[in-house]
Structure 1
Amino acid sequence: MIKELFGGLLVAFGLYSALPLPQIEWKDNTMRYALSFLPLIGILVGGCEYGWLLLAGKLALSSLLYAAGAVLIPVVITGGIHLDGFVDTCDALCSYGDKEKRLEILKDPHVGAFAILWIGVLLMVQLGMFAQVYETPASAKLLCLGYAGARALGGGMIVTQPCAKNSGLAHIFADSADKKTVSHVMLVWELVLAVLTVVLAKGIGVLAIAAYAGFYCFHIRMCRRNFGGITGDLCGMCITVCETLMLLCVVIGGIILR
């Protein structure tokens, strides 16, 4: 059991982070519980974000320099894997094709014009919001938990929702996972993070939880309607948008409490 858990930890960090860790072969026993460790990567990202905010304040950096570093932290730690899902999903949705066409676009390794447009919009919005967080950091502690919460929802999708196709990373992980155990673990993650979020951020924490829950329900319906289920890219889209919603809540909290 310990060996399986450690193997799952290495698989999760090996795929969903860019950290230089030992590579491990993907087998049923190493992938059975791998998704359970996905929120730990979010805790690492959130901790680095909050640490960077404190360091930038100590060094009296400009808000623009802080914001640029804050936008880059998740990309450096994760290798941009969830952003890849975001841009692929934007390309597919903006194609206005049928279900099969959208799934083909998700699989296509090329980047389309809509992907470039929407990743530019996303990063610009995040840059502006991080700059505002630097000026009004009253709710910034939410950064420590928001990235983990986004990954708890994204990972939970894989073991609780039907896959849109019988290939791809989502299908591989869903097929190899102990779905019952992993779904229970993800639920525990979500409940614990929700409680801590309310303790840390009070009313703004409740707003963040509501935003996550509302978008998650909307996203699941969108996936079923437009794709027939979920894929790895669609999970990446969910994680990326939830992170941005969390950042928006931090901005709102900072403005209200300044």
Structure 2
Amino acid sequence: MTDSFEDQPPPPPPERASLRDGLRFAFGTLTVLPARITRWDRPAARTGMACAPLAGLVVGLLAAVPGVLLLLLGGGPMLAAAVTVAVPAALTRGLHLDGLADTADGLGSAKPADDALRIMKQSDIGPFGVVALVLLLLVQVAALTEAYADSWVRGALAAVTAAVTARLAMTLASRAGVPAARPEGLGAAVAGVVPRRAAAAVAALTVVLAAAAALPLGLPAAGRHAAAVLVALLAAELLLRRCVRRFDGVTGDVFGALAEVSATTALIVLALG
């Protein structure tokens, strides 16, 4: 024997990742919650992005708690809404908001794909990004204010539904056939990893669960929550197609923009009730 056992290269990772590896990938990538990523490969990304709505569920619950507490302690619905909007930003270190701003700058630049991607990688935020951020945060707070003004239950459900839908949009954007715009970064790691049938199944299950969660408020509320998820996914799909055409694929910034746009759209639909 010329080589000891210790000198042998480690075996390649299995073709499938465990649910635990996937959850670590989802929470470690999409939140700042303590989750040590054990695998950073395509199988782990596949499981992790399919589990992304679960990360959204935790983020949504953590966002709803302080909003509800403020209402119960005598705070107004706008204060509760503002704090609820702030929590997901803190739990992602503002990365999704930053992705929205960078994507807005890239789309608004009217530059070729390579130049637009270069603009998106810059550390500063341009005028398109600033306007997009301000308007989006205003709409989110306004929509949640409407929900909290009706009841703390409706406000909490709206916050959770929006957070779950935001991550579900990422699951669908990770489906097979969606290319990456760059050979590196989060976009390259997760682009095209989720089989189309799996993505569709996760989306269908999320719509059903959103309706079921709102069912105690009545059939109209259940239908409204299901519609909110579907309309939000439609808005995310339109943005995704625009970004793929514009940038020749997706990036981590695009995923952040999809999350914020879908969450905001869901909140708008829920506020209409």
TM-score, length-normalised on structure 1? 0.85
Point out the structure with max Rg over C-alpha. 2
Residue in structure 1 matched with residue 234 of structure 2 by the alignment: 214
1:246, distance to aligned residue in structure 2 (A): 1.1
Residue in structure 1 matched with residue 204 of structure 2 by the alignment: 191
- List runs of 5+ in structure 2 lacking aligned partners: 1-13, 215-220
Instruction: Tell me how large the CA RMSD over aligned residues is.
Output: 2.4
Identity of aligned residues (%): 27
Q: Would you say the 8 A contact 1:136–1:251 is kept in 2?
A: no
Q: Would you say the 8 A contact 1:46–1:144 is kept in 2?
A: yes
Aligned residue-pair number: 249
Q: Could you give the per-residue CA deviations for residues 150-202 of structure 1, whole angstroms, max 9, x where no partner exists?
A: 21221221233122232221112237x4x43xx44432221111112233233
SS in 1 for 2:191: helix
SS in 2 for 1:20: coil
Equivalent AA in structure 2 for residue 153 of structure 1: A
Residue in structure 2 matched with residue 14 of structure 1 by the alignment: 28
In the alignment, the residues of structure 1 paired with residue 258 and residue 96 of structure 2 have an alpha-carbon distance, to the nearest angstrom, of 9
Q: Could you give the per-residue CA deviations for residues 223-242 of structure 1, whole angstroms, max 9, x where no partner exists?
A: 23211222221121111001
More helix per residue? 1
1:113 is aligned, of 127, 130, 133, to 127
Which fold has the larger relative contact order, with Cα–Cα distance below 8 Å and residues 6 or more apart in sequence? Answer: 1
Residues 156 and 210 of structure 1: CA distance in aligned 2, closer, same or farther (over 3 Å): closer
TM-score, length-normalised on structure 2? 0.80
1:212, distance to aligned residue in structure 2 (A): 1.9
Q: Would you say the 8 A contact 1:155–1:235 is kept in 2?
A: no
In the alignment, the residues of structure 1 paired with residue 211 and residue 111 of structure 2 have an alpha-carbon distance, to the nearest angstrom, of 41
Equivalent AA in structure 2 for residue 35 of structure 1: M
* 1:130-145 correspondence to structure 2 within 5 Å: 130-137=144-151, 139-140=154-155, 141-145=157-161
1:102, distance to aligned residue in structure 2 (A): 1.3
Q: Would you say the 8 A contact 2:140–2:264 is kept in 1?
A: yes
1:79 is aligned, of 93, 97, 100, to 93
Residue in structure 2 matched with residue 256 of structure 1 by the alignment: none
1:97, distance to aligned residue in structure 2 (A): 1.4
In the alignment, the residues of structure 1 paired with residue 100 and residue 17 of structure 2 have an alpha-carbon distance, to the nearest angstrom, of 33
In the alignment, the residues of structure 2 paired with residue 129 and residue 214 of structure 1 have an alpha-carbon distance, to the nearest angstrom, of 19
- List runs of 5+ in structure 1 lacking aligned partners: 254-258
Question: Does 1:156 pair with 2:172?
Answer: yes
Q: Could you give the per-residue CA deviations for residues 27-79 of structure 1, whole angstroms, max 9, x where no partner exists?
A: 45544522122111110122223333432222111233212211111112222
Residue in structure 2 matched with residue 171 of structure 1 by the alignment: 188
Residues 204 and 31 of structure 1: CA distance in aligned 2, closer, same or farther (over 3 Å): closer
